[in-house]
Amino acid sequence: MSGMRPTGKLHLGHYMGVLKNWVTLQDQYPCFFSIADWHALTTKYDDTASLKDNILEMALDWLAAGIDPQKATLFVQSSIPEIAELHLLLSMITPAKWVQTDPTLKDMVAMLHEDLSYGLLGYPVLQTVDILSVRAGLVPVGKDQLAHLEISRDIARRFNHLYQTDLFAEPRPLLTETPMLIGLDGRKMGKSFNNAIYLSDSAEETWSKVKTAITDPARVKRTDPGTPENCEVVYKYYQAFADANAQAVTAEECRAASRGCMDCKKQLGELINAQMAPLRERRALYASDKAQVETLLKTGGDKARARCQETLQQVKTLMKLF
């Protein structure tokens, strides 16, 4: 089980670092992938005009990347009210100290321009419910989510202990090895820096962005030999997108100054565009039939919901509720 907040369009970094892994996992495990719109509300409650759009666009990005609704269950978090009810119940057994000391949450609060809300404080508990409600054992996430997941394990253990059950497995992280792709300007890839290539970008847009990528700063003239190791963006992208042979040729020609940086970027643009072509095709297909995407999210939601209802029923029974 994993999720993403629908806060904007996804870029190549999300694809290489997260989605590609999900696509592999969907062939190895039954998978649940949640568009966590309630989690988006924990910080974006005052700017909800684009939320619906963002949910659909995120679904399109996932489908484009190759998440297959025949294999994996994709759904919108808020279509499952049982998640909210379970969140309420699990919040009762969660010591406030656990969430107050969550370093990932502290980082989120530090970036905020306002006081911490009650809802944001519950972020890790809500995420725990995402995972436990479908009784997932493995959670593919990045390093930044490990602190949240530690709380999930603690809550699962505490619930089992309090109500003498083994209902919840302690969910384990499935860490992704691939390093996050850097932005075209060498900073973290993201919308705030305008340095990202989006899954929804066309081949032309992609090429005009690749053109702006930084290269080895010491290579001033075309005749200067370059140092691929100091080419923080273009060469790094070759390491992500090119096969070993093409990488070696690039490094060699760079060092020998037999390849110019513009040429090098041009080839990189072609490499990226070749790999993005099937994604763009799938994206366009689904984008032309948004009703189909909504149906598919609803079907996924029904399937996930049935599982959440089962979990909630068991929780209520174990807690001996009215």
Which ranges of 122-162 would DSSP assign to H, the alpha helix?
123-133, 146-162
Provide, rounded to whole angstroms, the least separation between the CB of residue 234 and ligand SF4.
4
Q: Give which of ligand TRP, ligand SF4, none residue 5 binds (C-beta under 5 to 8 Å, depending on kind).
A: ligand TRP
Residue from 19, 55, 141, 296 in contact with ligand TRP (CB under 6 A): 141
- Our finding on whether 231 is near ligand TRP (CB under 6 A) is no
73 strand-pairing partners: 32
Query: Considering the rule CB under 6 A, would residue 130 count as an interface residue with ligand TRP?
Result: yes
- Give CA–CA dist 28/153, Å, rounded: 23
- Binding to ligand TRP by residue 156, rule CB under 6 A? no
- Do the beta carbons of residue 8 and residue 191 sit within 8 Å? yes
Quick check: 224 and 255 in contact, CB under 8 A?
Answer: no
Beta bridge partners of residue 74, listed in sequence order: 33
Q: Encoding tokens for residue 89? A: 């119940």
The count of residues in the chain is 322
| Contact pick of 19, 35, 36, 182 for ligand TRP (by CB under 6 A) | 36
The yes or no reply on residue 14 touching ligand TRP (CB under 6 A) is: no
CA 189 – CA 182 distance, rounded (Å): 5
By DSSP bridging, strand 73-76 and strand 32-35 are parallel
**Hey, which residues between 186 and 225 contact ligand SF4 (CB under 6 A)?**
215-216, 219
Residue 158 CA, chain-centre distance (Å), reads: 28
Least CB distance from residue 19 to ligand TRP, whole Å? 12
| Position of minimal CB gap to ligand TRP | 3
**261 scored as a contact of ligand SF4 (CB under 6 A):** yes
| Span from 2-10, 47-55, 249-257, 274-282 in contact with ligand TRP (CB under 6 A) | 2-10
- Whether residue 87 contacts residue 42, with contact meaning beta carbons closer than 8 Å, is answered with no
Which residue ranges make up the site for ligand SF4 (CB under 6 A)?
Answer: 215-216, 219, 226, 228, 231, 234-235, 250, 254, 259, 261, 264
Which residue ranges make up the site for ligand TRP (CB under 6 A)?
Answer: 1-5, 34, 36, 39, 127, 130-131, 139, 141, 145
